[in-house]
Structure 1
Amino acid sequence: MGKELSKKQIGERIANLRLSKGFSQEDLAKSIAISRPSLTQMELGNRVVSLSEMQKLSIVLGFSLDEFMTKDFLANQSLKASSESHDEVIAERISVPTLNINKFKNVLLYILEHCAGKPNVGETVLYKLLYFSDFNYYELYEEHLTGAKYKKLPYGPVPQKLDAIINQMIDANQLQRIKTEFKGYPQKRYLPLEKADLTMLKASEKDVIDKVIEQMSDWSATAISDYSHKDLPWEVTEEGKDISYNLAFYRELPYSVRVYDEEENN
């Protein structure tokens, strides 16, 4: 069999197989009778996979144990997958966010309705409120809220295409941009000129956004930037790259918004 695979390589292979077969972490963990945090640790390469777990995984994910341990396993799997376009579509749907512009505009208006009057809520704070709303929702429900992509930039996560969306909203008289100063620094702020269309937001979405607003909307730009820098998805992403939503499942307290222990006991 040649060189033994490392825990990290085994974890990556399991994660790749899980996504290609369209399983959520929760579904796969349940089907092999382990807790979701255990599967997370397994996929990150922090936990040894026992032989009996490996056998269960091979049945659920449909692979041969002998093939799994070979050097070219993932390359061979991707060749097989190319003929299984259905599986590829499922994997893409799970892992690739698609921006819902209308939803994004309404989330932005909803946040501004509640926070635009606060002197600390300039562009920097707004970006972080959007980021935590999106990533907290994904961690809780495994679905995208706005589907915006966030890039890792020095001051924290920044939603892509935001400038274009904001300019559209200014042209449509939905928003007004004002330049002010806050504590001696220039600041860009946005005022909502219309209310968010609440029919666009599910109760669960509104609930997640409300909690983010309640927790963070009074923080200074420095405080919220520092906080975002310790959030695992931002922390482990390379500078200038997109932040993967799936990293939200690897968060720990105080960032994690799911109570995994309660789920395990149910």
Structure 2
Amino acid sequence: MGNEISKKEIGERIINLRLKKGFSQDDLAKSIGISRPSLTQIELGNRGISFSEMQKLSVVLSFSLDDFVSKDFYSKQHLELPDEAEENIAEERISVPTLNINKFKNILLYILEHCSGKPNVGETVLYKLLYFSDFNYYELYEEHLTGANYKKLPYGPVPQKLDAIIDQMIELKQIEKIKTDYKGFPQKRFIPLEKADLTRLKASEKDVIDKVIDQMSDWSANAISDYSHKDLPWEVTEMGCDISYNLAFYRELPYSVRVYNEEEND
């Protein structure tokens, strides 16, 4: 079968069928007895798929192998796809998160508690710490952390509605905004005036944020911006557009935060 269509085409068709049936990557991988990283690599076209794995997929996703390798695959899928399922696919591909303002505020306060004393942590570094906390958590748990939308801008991913939240927190005297110079450049910084409510953070959420802080909070604005530019979700998104959380599933090392227990060389 691999001689008839490319690995990339196989991956794209599996994505199409998976979304049509409403399977997450994790659910589909478990149902056919492989790891999620393996399925990710198959969907990206980086890993071949065995005949036995394809047979299992055909049962779980309800397709015939003849239809799968057919030149008319997409037209057949379109004809069989009900309107409601088509809408669900569009929604999953867009992956519209819902902003949890209280969670966002507490995570912002938590990061500032640990980092506001560091002279390098101005607005740019803060944005990236928030971005990697959000996207790393989503990659690990398929759940949104703050639910913030991030837009691709020239200096890296920027959380939307942040200005309004910051202004509200300043008004409520939760944080203070100061302007300083750092290495000869003007810098906007934020100082926490109260502690984060840790009862609003799960242990898994705190763990992800702590790891981001440990890894990146000492980096300069230029270093963390350059690093974010090589993260696949930012890299493949068009400038000025929202970055889809689902793209986190296609990261590779060193950006991927999942533990790859299975070697991808089979």
TM-score, reference length from structure 1:
0.86
Moved more, 180-189 or 64-73: 64-73
Of residues 98-107 and 87-96 in structure 1, the stretch that sits farther from structure 2 once superposed is: 87-96
Note if 1:16 corresponds to 2:16: yes
Give the aligned partner of residue 236 of structure 2: 236
The alpha-carbon deviation at position 221 of structure 1 amounts to: 0.6
Segment drifting more, 67-76 vs 35-44: 67-76
1:204 and 2:201 equivalent? Answer: no
Moved over 6 A (4+): none
SS at match of 1:257: coil
Q: Distance in 1 between matches of 2:200 and 2:179?
A: 30
Q: Judging changes above 3 Å, is the alpha-carbon distance between structure 1 residues 220 and 26 closer, same or farther for their aligned structure 2 residues?
A: same
Q: What is the CA-CA distance between 1:70 and the residue it aligns to?
A: 4.5
Corresponding residue of 1:125: 125
Which stretch has the larger CA shift, 232-241 or 206-215?
232-241
Give the residue type in structure 2 aligned to 1:155.
Y
* Structure 1 counterpart of 2:142: 142
What secondary structure does 1:260 align onto? coil
Q: What secondary structure sits across from 1:30 in the alignment?
A: helix
Alpha-carbon distance, 1:251 to partner: 2.2
In 1, are the aligned partners of 2:106 and 2:200 still within 8 Å (CA)?
yes
**Range moving further from structure 2, 76-85 or 62-71:** 76-85
State how 1:73-112 maps to structure 2 within 5 Å: 73-74=73-74, 77=77, 80-84=80-84, 88=88, 92=92, 95-112=95-112
1:160 shift after superposition? 1.5
Change (3 A) 1:79 1:199: farther
Question: Could you say what secondary structure the match of 1:31 adopts?
Answer: helix
Q: Distance in 1 between matches of 2:64 and 2:96?
A: 28
Q: Cα distance 1:46–1:89, how it changes in 2: closer, same or farther (>3 A)?
A: closer
Residue correspondences, number: 262
Residue 128 of structure 1 and its aligned partner are, at CA, apart by 0.5
CA distance in 2, matches of 1:184, 1:71: 60
Partner Cα separation in structure 2 for residue 105 and residue 263 of structure 1: 39
After alignment, is 66-75 or 187-196 more displaced? 66-75
Contact 1:232 1:248 (8 Å CA) reproduced: yes
Where in structure 1 are there 5+ consecutive unaligned residues? none
* 1:96 CA displacement: 3.0
Paired amino acid for 1:53: E
Q: Distance in 1 between matches of 2:252 and 2:45?
A: 16
Q: Secondary structure at the match of 1:218?
A: coil
Q: Which has the higher contact order (CA 8 A, sep 6+)?
A: 2
**What is the RMSD of the two structures over their aligned residues, measured on CA atoms?**
2.8
Q: In the TM superposition, what whole-angstrom CA distance separates every residue of 1:180-229 from its partner, at most 9, and x where no partner exists?
A: 11111011111122221212110110111111111111111111112212
Contact 2:93 2:246 in 1 (8 A): no
Alignment partners' CA distance in 2, 1:39 and 1:200: 33
> Residue 12 of structure 1 contacts residue 43 of structure 1 at CA under 8 Å; is this kept in 2?
yes
